[in-house]
Amino acid sequence: MSNPLLTAFHTDFESAPFSKIKIEQFTPAIKEAIKVGLSEIDTIINEKETPSFKNTIEAMDNCGSLLGRNTSLLFNLNSAETNDELQQVVQEVAPLLTKFQNDIRLNEDLFKRIRFVYENEDHKKLSVEQVTLLEKEYKGFVRNGALLDEASKNELRNIDAKLAQLSLRFGENILADTQNYQLHIKDEKKLKGLPVSVIEMAKFNAKNKNKKGWVFTLDYPSYVPLITYAEDRNLRKKICLAFSKRGFQKNENNNSKIILEIITQRQKRSILLGYDSHADFVLEERMAKSVKNVNAFLDDLTEKAKPFAKQEWKAMELFAKKKLNLKDLEKWDSAFVSEKLKEAELQLNEQELKPYFELDQVLNGLFEIVKKLYGIEFKENTELDVYHSEVKVFEVYKNDNFYALLYTDFFPRSGKRSGAWMTSYRSQKKDQRPHISIVCNFSRPTVTQPSLLTFQEVTTLFHEFGHALHGILANTNYNGLSGTNVYWDFVELPSQIMENWCYEPEALKLFAKHYQTEELLPQNLVEKIKKAAHFQQGLQTLRQLSFSYLDMSYHNSSASNIKDVKLHEKKQVESLQFTKDIPDSCMSASFSHVFQGGYAAGYYSYKWAEVLDADAFELFIEKGVFDSKTATSFFDNILSKGGTEHPMVLYKKFRGKEPDTSALLRRAGLIKSNE
């Protein structure tokens, strides 16, 4: 049987022929693609002409396209539609890919050419984009060991191979613990307080598992409603403890040792490359620039948010005692009490909103919003191949020109990791348009209702769609600078700014319609949503800051002193939390952003980017949320530019000034609008 992964895809838009790809074809295809990639590098090295931008840097940007395509397919499927066989393939090829990267980054002959171009090419004759790519390649090699001696290079190879395997095991362990748990309820009385749609979903889960009654899982659409609405405190406690113990149980999925090994290897790697810590290594290529700046940023927000958080927690305790007969609030009470207090203060029941946010309607409204802003249109294509029957594909056009494919995958299932993310199957570069995907875990349709989103799920969809726009609207010459290939603390700007339209009446009227009556979301509910955006912002901010501090603590110069993950976590976050510690739970053990994803020494970037997006959106508010001139400027200077220039340069081109950190505090209601 011929292997489709070894050739170009002869399909419409060169889209992936998922149904023709077999799992067993990945390993041989990736091995062959590695050979092709190394051969392309050899061609560059053996070039007789004097090294130049064109025959070295540009040629490198075009290398490895076959490998990039195949690995994107593999790792995307491993996140969205995995099984034991696919996970085994990933474990097999991960060290091969790490070796391939090191074979390139540590190739002395290749680096000599890059260094020659970096030191001798007339930068004035290059475009801004070309200068950025040249500097990125040179720094990339140096930061990955090109200047090390041979023994140190070999040590670096071993470290990178270990880290690749460790991060994979970390993620697999969380997925296993998530999928191994189910809360089976037989007594209907225990379901008191839960929305009808959640109960129906639990009944559907039970039926699928050949059980009577109701089954709740640790997938977000199941876990979050139970912890938020169940009046049975014992049920909340059970599922909260199960969720908190993922990766931290006395079983083969325990991540404690893996975390210690990851931070040890990251620290070794950084010292080998001449840095005091992994955080110093990472932040050299971030807008924040240094550990000192990040800590100052976090400390400043903490100082401003903590007084509000204390007041909000006292209000929660008083309300719980008076209205809910709850005295000592535990971790499993927080979401429940918070929701009840919000209902009381704002007369807003989140479930009251759900009928106005039917998934397809929200998605179509989102399409309409970005059409108004950026002139792009979406056309569903039911003929293209997909990896699961629930996945949909849309062709994206701008000014009648094909711009991208967008894949959407919205519901939880076995083999799909939790959370929400944007990714790509094919990146953008000159003469190549991208294939982008957004993957979420939203509430499924039930027997009686379509998929009705919570407002938080609506903002999640807008957030991931913002990331998708960064990929879809990319318009650069080079793959290495396209779309989301930007500084990590800049990458969240396009996603987080999109969330703002969820609160604007002009935007809401395009998608917030009752799924049965088509009645627009009433104005009083619009006002309540806007007020809810300020609800408990002190506590919400403190929660995000605790994650950021924890992340930095695992990657600063003292990280090597950590011996006990649980004890370390407790010390780091206890001053920012109001509930008692749960001894057999450990958030770090499922902190995928940091130990599996790319957020190591970078979790602060969520808050950093919130400053950017709050400041940027103030311009939209000033000019109009659908102002074409402002939207065109955001497209021209941010969305289409990727990483072609330093992010602060791009931001200032859009905004006309550096971001004002007070914008975030103003939006959160933590300072007055004129401060």
555-568: b (≥16 Cβ within 10 Å) or e: bbbebeebeebbeb
Give the CA distances from residue 462 to residues 521, 527, 588, in Å, rounded to whole numbers and listed in that order: 18, 19, 27
Question: Tokens representing 319?
Answer: 């309300």
Q: Where are the beta strands (DSSP E) in 222-337?
A: none
Question: Tokens representing 287?
Answer: 């807008």
Q: Three-state SS string across 437-500, please?
A: EEECCCCCCCCCCCCECCHHHHHHHHHHHHHHHHHHCCCCCCHHHCCCCCCCCCCCHHHHHHHH
Query: 591, 607, 587, 600: which is closest to 663 by C-alpha?
Result: 607
| DSSP structure class, residue 286 | S
Question: Tokens representing 8?
Answer: 């170009």
3-state secondary structure of 602: coil
3-state secondary structure of 407: strand
Report CA Rg, the chain.
25
Query: 651, 626, 632, 640: which is closest to 472 by C-alpha?
Result: 640
Q: Are 164 and 98 in contact (CB under 8 A)?
A: yes
| DSSP structure class, residue 53 | I
DSSP letter string over 226-247? HHHH---HHHHHHHHHHHHTTT
Give the CA distances from residue 608 to residues 218, 554, 619, 649, in Å, rounded to whole numbers and listed in that order: 30, 19, 18, 16
Is 464 catalytic? The answer is yes
Phi, psi of 47, rounded to the nearest 5 degrees: -60, 130
- C-alpha 443/C-alpha 450 separation (Å) is 9
| DSSP structure class, residue 288 | S
Element (H, E) at 405: strand 401-409
Residue among 172, 464, 492, 569 flagged as catalytic: 464
DSSP lists the bridge partners of residue 430 as: none
Strand 376-380 and strand 214-216: the pairing is unpaired
Q: Are 170 and 255 in contact (CB under 8 A)?
A: yes
* Catalytic residue ranges: 464
